[in-house]
Amino acid sequence: MLSGRRLDILNPSPLDVEIEDIAHGLARVARWNGQTRGGEIFSVAQHSVAVAEILAVLDPGAPARWLMFALLHDAPEYVIGDMITPFKAALGGVYKEVESRLEQAILQRFSLKPEPPAALTKLTKRADRISAYFEATLYAGFDEGEAKSLFEQPDFAFERVAPLFAPRKPEAAHAEFLRKFAEIEGRL
């Protein structure tokens, strides 16, 4: 990692996980495998910030730990990239095992429970699907009908998070992710 840490992806240690490395990696990983409109990618870092913000709107009383979980929900992708769901399914157990080990190390590093409450998992998934719907229709070429069939029509006012969905250069996405992390960490 750029921090100098040597992360063993098959047996990751929480001691080798650094937020700077996560922000750097996620800001350079394209959502939708880069198959999007426009000159800039929509990064996993941007998606992560959007999911945390959407979760905060869905549950204004959400504890800071829930917001941190939402921000870090795709954090393993700083090492293994963002693979499309059908390919993850094709890889099966090996991929899921590596991803799970990374996720556990990341959660432990930031003092989050390795087994989050079911309500948090459900709420994060809902926020993730809302973000995916907006990304699909804004950048990935999906029409509204197709996006609805895959992600459901979000019962959510896009205007509340619209600025988060503007593509950014990796450096700006990196900084935005770190700002959001610091904001949430300051509430823990």
Residue 90 is predicted with a pLDDT of 84
41: how many CB neighbours lie within 10 A of its CB?
Answer: 22
The mean pLDDT value for 139-149 works out to 94
- Would you say how long the chain is, in residues? 188
Locate 10 and state its tokens: 């098959």
Radius of gyration of the CA atoms of the chain, in A: 16
Q: Which residues contact 95 (CB under 8 A, 6 or more apart)?
A: 80, 83, 88
Decide if pLDDT at 156 tops 80: yes
Contact 109, 78 (CB under 8 A): no
* CATH (one of 3.40.50.150, 1.10.10.10, 1.10.645.10, 1.10.3210.10) for 14-186: 1.10.3210.10
Residue 97 is predicted with a pLDDT of 92
Decide if pLDDT at 160 tops 90: yes
The mean pLDDT value for 22-37 works out to 94
Name residue, tokens 């157990």: 93
- The pLDDT confidence band at residue 61, using thresholds 50, 70 and 90, is very high
- Each domain of the chain, given as residue ranges in start order, spans 14-186
Residue 92 is predicted with a pLDDT of 77
Decide if pLDDT at 164 tops 90: yes
